[in-house]
């Protein structure tokens, strides 16, 4: 496929081409297997160019496969309708939190036999592999990226506020104090928080974990919601205090993923919590200035405190036929996996990414074992172009922090019911936190009790 094909990433779904509907006729007139591969919408030209380069390299190495890029961004609320309507790509990505549910509902293709044939099938980090595995341990979706949550901060705002950007906050009291100073000195939000599209629950769970809480307890097949706890109350009281007593959280309390990243990159937010490897996205989609960026370890406070961990899975459309599944796994291996375990692939990917002006070397947790991870860093060292020194407050500590998996039952639904709780606390000074948590607890348990 030539690079010009990327301009037609949406035509496949729009025109409903026969060769582009997962599981239907998927061969070209000259016998090539057609595979729709997802590319995230909104990428800048450099990121698209890097993707194009890898697609061309793949098709050169696999002349019997024709890749058709299609813009796709995971949305749990529309996925089932997209699957039924045949508008999904053949290769798609999703958060760790949704993998097990999709597998249980058979909304992904079983590619476990093909994954088992990969040369590094036995090297996956077992904790990471669980997210894409069925109850019997077979891997239906492949982990391609993993992260722990971190505190991102704007070094320029720190300087303007009279703070040392090389000494970011290491406790929640320091986060509060720094946020208040940033807001007072610069007029920008010292700290901001995600609150919509299930991200409000995601970040509340992150804070809950950081204070030693959990959102569920599992005992065999029984799941018990644990939202109405002192740790979750502390998480809500923390942001309530920063919002109402300190006035350090700005004026936007309905942030989604795109909005908070955009405002952070634009210098309107001093600090926020998100995945530790977010720099690449901030660069590719929000054009953040490298000099502005800093990231540090999320402060942990309390017994059993830990960092909420997550990541991204790559899976295959449940409607894909055998030929498409085989070709799709080849692409997953080539584009997502081999660059993490094979020297030639790692160097080729890093070079293509760097040549396109995109980020190489953003912090991440190992998909494979740590030895493989460290080896890869050595292979690509000459292409690393991120502000590594500015990331050391996080990277120096990320392997030493306890990594706790996200909740596994009705994850997105529980996150979703926590969104309005976060919003209420940030928009109503008199919000009754105990009552909000008691109600959320009841709703969450009802979700967990559903067969």
Report DSSP letters for 53-81, one per residue: HHHHHHHHH-TTEEEEEEE----TTTHHH
Which two structure tokens, joined as six digits, stand for 303? 């017994």
Distance (Å, rounded) from C-alpha 71 to C-alpha 124?
Answer: 28
Report DSSP letters for 295-310, one per residue: EEEPP--STT--EEEE
Provide the residue-wise pLDDT of the chain in tens; the chain has 451 residues: 434 454 444 444 333 333 444 444 578 889 999 999 999 998 888 889 989 999 999 999 999 999 999 999 988 778 889 999 999 999 999 988 888 889 989 999 999 999 999 998 988 988 788 889 998 999 999 999 988 999 999 999 999 999 999 999 999 999 999 999 999 999 999 999 999 999 999 999 999 999 999 999 988 779 999 999 999 999 999 999 999 999 999 999 999 999 999 999 999 999 999 999 899 999 989 999 999 999 999 999 999 999 999 889 999 999 999 999 999 999 999 999 999 999 999 999 999 999 988 899 998 888 888 888 889 999 999 999 999 999 999 999 988 888 888 887 888 899 999 999 999 999 999 999 999 999 999 999 999 998 7
C-alpha 326 chain-centroid distance: 26
Q: Phi, psi at residue 33, to the nearest 5°?
A: -85, 125
Contact 23, 317 (CB under 8 A): yes
Residue spans of alpha helices (H) in 89-165: 96-104, 112-115, 126-129, 155-160
C-alpha 344 chain-centroid distance: 26
Domains defined along the chain, listed by start: 3-140+310-383 (3.40.190.10), 151-306+401-449 (3.40.190.10)
Burial code (b: 16+ CB inside 10 Å, e: under 16) for 348-371 equals: bbbbbbbebebbbbbbbbbbbbee
Distance (Å, rounded) from C-alpha 264 to C-alpha 216?
Answer: 31
Which two structure tokens, joined as six digits, stand for 374? 């460290």
Output the CA angle 41-412-434, nearest 5 degrees: 130
Cα dist. 342→118, 129, 359, 386 in Å? 12, 19, 19, 22
Q: What integer pLDDT is reported at residue 4 of this predicted model? A: 46
């Amino acid at each position: 496929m030539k690079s010009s094909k990327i301009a037609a990433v949406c035509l496949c779904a729009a025109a409903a081409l026969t060769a582009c509907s997962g599981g239907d006729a998927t061969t070209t007139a000259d016998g090539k297997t057609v595979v729709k591969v997802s590319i995230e919408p909104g990428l800048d030209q450099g990121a698209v160019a890097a993707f194009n380069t890898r697609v061309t390299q793949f098709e050169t190495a696999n002349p019997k496969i024709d890749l058709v890029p299609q813009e796709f961004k995971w949305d749990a609320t529309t996925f089932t309708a997209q699957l039924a309507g045949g508008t999904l790509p053949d290769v798609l990505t999703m958060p760790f939190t949704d993998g097990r549910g999709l597998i249980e509902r058979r909304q992904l293709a079983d590619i476990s036999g093909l994954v088992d044939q990969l040369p590094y099938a036995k090297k996956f980090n077992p904790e990471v592999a669980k997210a894409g595995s069925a109850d019997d341990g077979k891997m239906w979706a492949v982990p391609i990226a993993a992260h722990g949550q971190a505190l991102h901060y704007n070094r320029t705002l720190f300087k303007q506020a009279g703070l040392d950007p090389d000494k970011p906050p290491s406790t929640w009291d320091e986060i509060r104090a720094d946020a208040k100073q940033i807001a007072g000195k610069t007029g920008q939000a010292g700290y901001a928080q995600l609150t919509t599209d299930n991200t409000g629950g995601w970040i509340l769970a992150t804070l809950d974990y950081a204070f030693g809480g959990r959102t569920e307890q599992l005992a065999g097949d029984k799941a018990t919601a644990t939202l109405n706890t002192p740790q979750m109350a502390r998480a809500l009281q923390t942001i309530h205090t920063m919002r109402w007593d300190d006035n350090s959280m700005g004026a936007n309390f309905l942030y989604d993923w795109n909005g908070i990243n955009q405002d952070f990159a634009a210098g309107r937010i001093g600090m926020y919590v998100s995945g530790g490897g977010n720099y690449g996205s901030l660069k590719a989609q929000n054009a953040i200035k490298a000099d502005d960026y800093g990231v540090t370890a999320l402060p942990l406070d309390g017994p059993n405190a830990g960092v909420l961990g997550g990541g991204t899975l790559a899976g295959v459309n449940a409607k894909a036929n055998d030929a498409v599944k085989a070709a799709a796994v080849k692409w997953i291996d080539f584009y997502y996996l081999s660059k993490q375990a094979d020297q030639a692939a790692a160097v080729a990917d890093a070079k293509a990414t760097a040549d396109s002006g995109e980020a190489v070397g953003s912090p991440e947790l190992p998909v494979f074992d740590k030895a493989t991870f460290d080896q890869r860093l050595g292979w690509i060292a000459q292409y690393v172009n991120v502000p590594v020194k500015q990331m050391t407050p996080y990277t120096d500590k990320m392997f030493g922090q306890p990594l706790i998996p996200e909740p596994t039952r009705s994850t997105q639904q529980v996150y979703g019911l926590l969104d309005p709780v976060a919003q209420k606390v940030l928009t109503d000074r008199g919000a009754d936190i105990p009552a909000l948590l008691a109600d959320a607890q009841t709703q969450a348990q009802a979700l967990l009790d559903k067969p």
